[in-house]
Amino acid sequence: MWWLRSPGYTNREISYVFEDGTIQSVYANASRNYDKTITNEEYDRDFSRYEKAAGPYVDRGVRPVMWVDFAELDMDLEPLHTQRMLEFGDVGTTVQFGQYEQDNNTDNGVEPIEWIVLDQKGNKRLLLSRYGIDRQRYNKQAISTCWEDCSLRYWLNSDFLNTAFSEKEKQALLHTVVNNRFNAGGESKSFDLVYLPSYSEVLHFLPNAEDRVCEPSASVAALAENVEKEWLLRSQGMAATLADYVNADGERRDEPVHKDEMLIRPMVWVNFDILVVGPETKPSPDVEAFHRVGDVVKFGRYEQNNNPEDGAEEIEWTVQQVSGDKVNLISRCTLDMMKYHSFQRMPLIWEECDLRKWLNSDFLESAFDSSEQDAILLTTIQNGDNGKFEPSTKDKVYIPSYSENGYKGSCPASEYVRAKDKDASYYWALRRTVTRDFGIANVTNRGAVIGRIVYRSSLLQQAIRPEIWVDLNSKYFTQSGN
């Protein structure tokens, strides 16, 4: 039981909260001193009620309330906020994580995002936004597509990610291996920080249709006169040109991928330990090893053992070239499976292919933190070693060409790559085009170079072995103490 400051049933009584949560009242002095201003009969009458409720002369708990101006304190509030989430973050509860404009009043800043806890593993939580916090199309173009290639996936893992989460919150987001089934059979996997639920996941976590009904945020509701309460899923519809969504009644429907903007309910896995305790301390890099050609060094992190629950693993690189304090690295094993380009039967050049865009956006953001990205040099890449002219490009991340030393020799595949496609993982892509520009060169598991036509359905996925240049004079290396 604990005191309130409110008067009780009369102005001579004080309210308190009883053990069952109900509000009761008693004479203010009943438990300690006799109030001489009231008669014996009045005291006896009311004190008997007090004795029945709590027994005579029982003190009550005191729960202080106060306002604190944290702007006056020099401290990081995120751990305090996150600790509160951990206390109430069981499945079915609502927690706050990240910030986004939602009340349609930009003058008062962004608002905390509310999430429904769908699943938990230790201090890891699977979260689905409570409201539709934005409106987007599944894909910008009217083409056959899937989650792995759609523009919405790119927006969630770039624009939305950088807007909604601080750097520390990004560190707490877990990379998730997302299974994407095609309506015609088969499946692909993507590796996402932020994604949408599939229809099967919606049925599993929200089995009742009324629980699937979603309200838009005030900002989204203001975008149009009548915003439909329909929210997108990542799964394909009845055809590859259709995307699934949940309608206002909580039922599954589909429509063309490019047609209408719909509500977006992001889904994320969060490791709250990182917010409360802090991220694992990174070991200082062995800068001397970066100066030795042929040595293996560690730089960045990426999912490689196909077990996302234990977090991403450090990436191992082989030192290929050293030019002063600038060092050329190539990954020791292939790190992912990607398409060279989404469109079929069209001439391919490195400058325009989707793989180049993915390496310098999704992969770059996923594998390296901000200090590591600053250490990676923007490099001028010479293309066209197939005898045809191709313009040079400026990239932070790329893959080797046939004429470069990086392609030579076989290359192992990570467990994550083998799990995506065991057969295709025996080959890894070069950026050289072949066969009238409709295919690309690949390196086999024996180190031989062959040409593969990329528009054949069984050969769309290519194992990827990234290459980068790093600057040993950057803050990442100089502040390590080496």
Does residue 70 register a pLDDT over 60?
A: no
Residues 6+ apart with CB under 8 A from 181: 187, 198, 235, 236
Is the pLDDT score of 456 beyond 80?
no
Task: Name the least confident of 27-41, 227-241, 371-385.
Answer: 27-41
User: How confident is the model at residue 128, as a pLDDT?
Assistant: 95
pLDDT at residue 59 in the model: 72
Split at pLDDT 50, 70, 90, the class of 480 is low
User: Bigger pLDDT: 68 or 477?
Assistant: 477
Lowest-pLDDT choice from 97-111, 122-136, 301-315, 447-461: 447-461
pLDDT tens for each residue of 324-335: 899 999 999 999
Query: What pLDDT, on the 0 to 100 scale, is given for residue 61?
Result: 85
Given a contact cutoff of 8 angstroms between Cβ atoms, the answer to whether 92 and 116 are in contact is yes
Question: What is residue 410's predicted lDDT score, i.e. its pLDDT?
Answer: 67
| Phi, psi angle pair for 164, to nearest 5° | -90, -20
Which own/partner pairs from 113-116 qualify as long-range (CB within 8 Å, at least 24 positions apart)? Answer: 113/164, 115/268, 116/92
Give the tens place of pLDDT for each residue, 143-200.
888 888 888 998 998 889 989 998 888 888 888 878 887 655 556 777 788 999 998 8
Long-range contacts of 39-48 (CB under 8 A, 24+ apart): 46/13
pLDDT in tens, 310-320: 778 899 999 99
Q: How many H helices and E strands in the chain?
A: 14, 25
CA-based nearest residue to 285, from 29, 470, 428, 113: 470
On the question of pLDDT at 3 being above 90, the answer is: no
Residue 375: pLDDT band (50, 70, 90) is very high
Region at 294 (left for phi over 0; alpha for psi -120 to 50; beta for the rest): left
- Specify the pLDDT at position 25: 75
Tell me the pLDDT of the chain averaged across its residues: 78
**Percent of the residues in the chain that have a pLDDT greater than 90, as a whole number:** 24
Q: Between residues 316 and 411, which one has the greater pLDDT?
A: 316
Structure-model confidence comparison of residues 426 and 113, the more confident one: 113
The average pLDDT across 374-381 equals: 92
Q: What is the mean pLDDT of residues 395-415?
A: 78
* CA–CA separation, 252 and 386 (whole Å): 49
- 292 vs 56: which has the higher pLDDT: 292
Top-confidence residue, 175 or 467 = 467
Band of the pLDDT at 461, cuts 50, 70, 90? Answer: confident
Which helix (DSSP H) or strand (DSSP E) does residue 62 occupy?
none
Between 36-45, 445-454, 457-466, the lowest mean confidence (pLDDT) is in: 36-45
DSSP state of 406: G
- pLDDT at 76 > cutoff 60: no
- Rounded to an integer, the average pLDDT of 434-461 is 58
SS3 53: helix
Q: Which of 14-18, 24-28, 59-63, 191-195 has the lowest mean pLDDT?
A: 24-28
Range from 21-25, 34-38, 222-226, 412-416 carrying the lowest mean pLDDT:
34-38
Q: What proportion of the chain, given as a percentage, has pLDDT over 70?
A: 73
Q: 292-304 burial string, b = 16+ CB within 10 Å, else e?
A: eeeeebbbbbbbb
- Position 54 scores a pLDDT of 44
End-to-end CA distance of the chain: 59
In this model, does residue 457 exceed pLDDT 50? no
Query: What value does the mean pLDDT take over residues 76-80?
Result: 52
In the predicted structure, residue 51 carries a pLDDT above the cut 50? no
If pLDDT is split at 50, 70 and 90, which confidence band does 16 have? confident
32, pLDDT greater than 50: no
- What is the pLDDT averaged over residues 357-361? 91
pLDDT at 385 over 50: yes
